[in-house]
Amino acid sequence: MAKILVVDDSPAEMVRFREILGKHGFELIEAFNGEEGYDKACEQQPDLILMDIVMPEMNGFQATRKITRDEKTAHIPVVIVSTKDQETDRVWGKRQGAKEYLVKPITEEQLIGVIRSVLG
């Protein structure tokens, strides 16, 4: 099954992603900030990245831009999953290269639906 990199600094959110993705047979790679997310994207070459926005060091917008503009990782689709729900956040996220933008809290059905849709 597909390898998914989750970039989120919240331990509680990571537990939830672990449960949902594991239940659906996805392999999970974890990163706790944008810089670590970028490094793991380069090393592990996941099939998809789920990216939080509000994180220390490098935020999710910066990490998404870095991942989608680097030739080593540009082919990896990024889905932003954030509590930031303003239209400007959605537009900015897409401008950084995100394929989709989900607002937390999300349901299992929403998450799996978007993952399957983006992965084709």
Q: Where are the beta strands (DSSP E) in 13-112?
A: 27-31, 48-51, 78-82, 100-103
pLDDT (tens digit, 0 to 9) for every residue of the chain, 120 residues total?
899 999 999 999 999 999 999 999 999 999 999 999 999 999 999 999 999 999 988 999 999 999 999 999 999 999 999 999 999 999 999 999 999 999 999 999 999 999 999 999
Identify whether 87 is part of a domain.
Answer: no
Identify whether 114 is part of a domain.
Answer: no
Identify whether 113 is part of a domain.
Answer: no
Identify whether 109 is part of a domain.
Answer: no
In the DSSP assignment, the letter for residue 30 is E
Q: CA torsion, points 24, 19, 7, 49, in degrees to nearest 10?
A: 0
Res 1: pLDDT:
86
How many Å apart are CA 22 and CA 26, to the nearest integer?
Answer: 6
Domain containing 6 equals 1-49+60-82+95-102
How many Å apart are CA 31 and CA 3, to the nearest integer?
Answer: 13
CATH of the domain at 15: 3.40.50.2300
In the DSSP assignment, the letter for residue 58 is S
Identify whether 27 is part of a domain.
Answer: yes
The SS3 of residue 61 is helix
The SS3 of residue 45 is coil
Number of domains comprising the chain = 1
